[in-house]
A and B are shown apart, each in its own frame.
Chain A
């Protein structure tokens, strides 16, 4: 019952703050419109997915793999991807860099190495997605091979012949994001991450406000206070994220794909991650430190995670940095759902979100339990 009281109080306080509305609703929607229209030309210039060209080199000696690979090639060629085998002496990476190919794949017995074009990020993402599916199949098959070569071979060949790789990712050759679609997603997830700011003041705010004293003096367990606050904070931030999502979808007509349940699940886990990250920060740092870390983290993570423009994944500092941004995996996951119509494409993002969230929550609970007077 007290959990409920505390959660409701948290939600009410947030709804009352005009700044929160500006920050969590107006800002992302305005940015969405501005970036979405200002950069629409840049997005229209990118090639259609139908123009995808894959260069490959096959070093494999394993017959199963190469049979599978050829079936795979045939299948994706039918979907409109141009596939070219690299001649001896061709520098595949260079070919991609020169924008002659969307991606370069080196197939060996150990797996597939893929080098995607940054100039056609969507195309190369899709190629990478298809290759991943193939690689999964292949390792499945090779695992099976040790038991029964016949079945393994069958798996690969049938798979190829039935276009199953492709169907699994259900490629829509002409589907590509307009800039408003991209920023609808990027801004929504950015606002989800901003939940950490709100969360980092959940307890530190009570501390500066001295109201922590009253909470601690009341006959309410630390656990109830903690749970109530975390629930309240998650609900209110999820609310903001969902409003941004809905406005972008119904007012701005942004494309969010066909799997809304999965999209919302990704957003929910992202908010949970952001809330627990904020909590963790509030127990690790004090006062100005909390504010500084919040600012730096949200800015760097937004930038590196592709909130302002898609990040070139071909290497370099930013693409390295982007691996540490929750927005990177969340956005990649959502792109999988939306543009390859693959609802399972976001499981990696969801797993990452949930794992980090769990770690930070455990850390916070531990600190609250141990700290004398918890947050006085």
Chain B
């Protein structure tokens, strides 16, 4: 299977701070490649290097077999980026926005017109082409943000959290668009904080933490990491942060995390330690409201591997 994108020993430093640390990964043709990581994991930094927005400190990135620094124009022509922040001109109509950016990719005349209309149609803004984005809802702006990235028909589309802060309708629309783009032959890199989204649409996933890929594979492969793991959620009455060090010391427990009035505990499945956990909480005078064991999902994988929640 051919690789659309090869990242080899990629490092990015900001001063002394290492944001991306010797990262290697491949994205194959036709994939929807999920990029999962907590805030500050280095997702955007990696993406920005792929899109030539940041210089590479060390290592290399190849797009369709060509080094992106040596073949900068080629790389840029074949990449479409949907930035994390909405990047559109409020004082230009939806149509003018798409046409302007597509024009930067060398499209002219009737082809430019066609592609612009096609992109707007694709994100469901065909009837809004003459409207100004300042009157758009968050979801519509996100969709326009996507249209601006696809009109030049890139081989690789990079989406950096394209569904942040929007209504469920727009979100579904966007997820469907991603699938449709993929069906049309685009390879997609998709980052998100929403585990369900990634589980739903990505064919392969990399989990990034502290600038490193700590796990990579299909969701089945990733879940296989945690077949010997269970996740217990304990509902408590308070949402004050508690000191949970004692729980971590209990045999089998690999990660403990409090999220408002839920304590999430990841533990080895074969060790029966639920009693000890509950005893500890009673001893700490924590009022328990519920206890449930979760079916392992990507969230568990993430928690197991990083000891942290995906979302803050």
Contact = CB atoms under 8 A, between A and B. Distances in A.
A215 B101 CA distance: 8
B105 interface: yes
A299 B68 CA distance: 47
A209 B52 contact: no
Contacts, number: 68
A212 to B, nearest CB: 8
A228 to B, nearest CB: 10
B148 interface: yes
Interface string A347-376: 000000000000000000000000011001
A2 B106 CA distance: 8
A5 B99 CA distance: 10
5 contacts: A210-B85, A213-B81, A214-B148, A217-B52, A373-B53
A225 B193 CA distance: 34
A216 B87 contact: no
The 9 A-B pairs of least Cβ separation, nearest first, read A218-B104, A210-B87, A219-B76, A210-B85, A219-B73, A213-B83, A217-B51, A211-B87, A217-B81
Given A209-B87, A217-B76, 9 more contacts: A9-B100, A16-B91, A209-B88, A214-B148, A218-B101, A219-B72, A219-B77, A372-B55, A373-B54
B286 to A, nearest CB: 44
B88 to A, nearest CB: 7
A13 B92 contact: yes
Interface of B: 48, 51-55, 72-73, 76-77, 79, 81, 83, 85-92, 100-101, 103-106, 148-149
A2 B76 CA distance: 15
A214 B103 contact: no
A63 interface: no
Interface in A176-225: 209-220
Contact of B89 (A2, A211, A216, A372): A211
A17 interface: yes
Contacts of B148: 214
B104 A215 contact: yes
A355 to B, nearest CB: 34
A217 B53 contact: yes
B92 A214 contact: no
Nearest to A5: B103
Contact of A210 (B52, B83, B101, B106): B83
Contacts of A13: 89, 91-92
A9 B101 CA distance: 11
A220 B55 CA distance: 16
A2 B83 contact: no
A362 B234 CA distance: 63
Contacts of B87: 209-214
Interface in A9-31: 9, 12-13, 16-17
A202 to B, nearest CB: 13
B55 A2 contact: no
A266 to B, nearest CB: 32
A9 B87 CA distance: 16
B60 to A, nearest CB: 18
A219 B81 CA distance: 12
Contacts of B101: 214, 218
B191 to A, nearest CB: 15
A220 B105 CA distance: 8
A214 B73 contact: no
Nearest to A219: B76
A198 to B, nearest CB: 13
A9 B51 CA distance: 23
Contacts of B83: 210, 213-214
Interface in A208-256: 209-220
A126 to B, nearest CB: 48
Contacts of A5: 100, 103-104
B53 A220 contact: no
Contacts of A2: 103-104
A210 B100 contact: no
Given A5-B104, A16-B91, A219-B104, A214 B81 contact: yes
Contacts of A211: 87-89
A61 B147 CA distance: 82
Nearest to B97: A211
Contacts of B91: 13, 16-17
B106 A219 contact: yes
A217 B79 contact: yes
B66 to A, nearest CB: 14
